[in-house]
Amino acid sequence: MKYISIIIAGLLMNSAPLSALNIVTIEQQEYQHVLKTKAQPVKFPLNQTDKQLIAAMKTKLYQLGGIGLAAPQVNQAKQIIVLYIPEEAALLRENVIPYPMHVMLNPTYEAVVDTKVQYDFEGCYSVSSKSGKVPRFNQIKLQYYDESGQYYQTIEQGFYARSLQHEIDHINGILIIDRLTPNCIQGTVQEMMALRRAELPEEKRVLFDAVMKKKLKK
Q: Which of 167, 191, 199, 203 is catalytic?
A: 167
Is the bond preceding 67 in cis, omega lying within 30 degrees of 0?
yes
**8 Å CB contact between 140 and 114:** no
What stretches of 11-93 adopt beta strand conformation (E)?
67-70, 80-85
Is 122 in the active site? no
Is the bond preceding 41 in cis, omega lying within 30 degrees of 0?
no
The C-alpha atoms of residue 29 and residue 217 are separated, in whole angstroms, by: 26
**8 Å CB contact between 45 and 149:** yes
The C-alpha atoms of residue 5 and residue 8 are separated, in whole angstroms, by: 5
On the CB side of 19, CA atoms within 13 Å amount to: 0
Q: Active-site residues: which are they?
A: 167
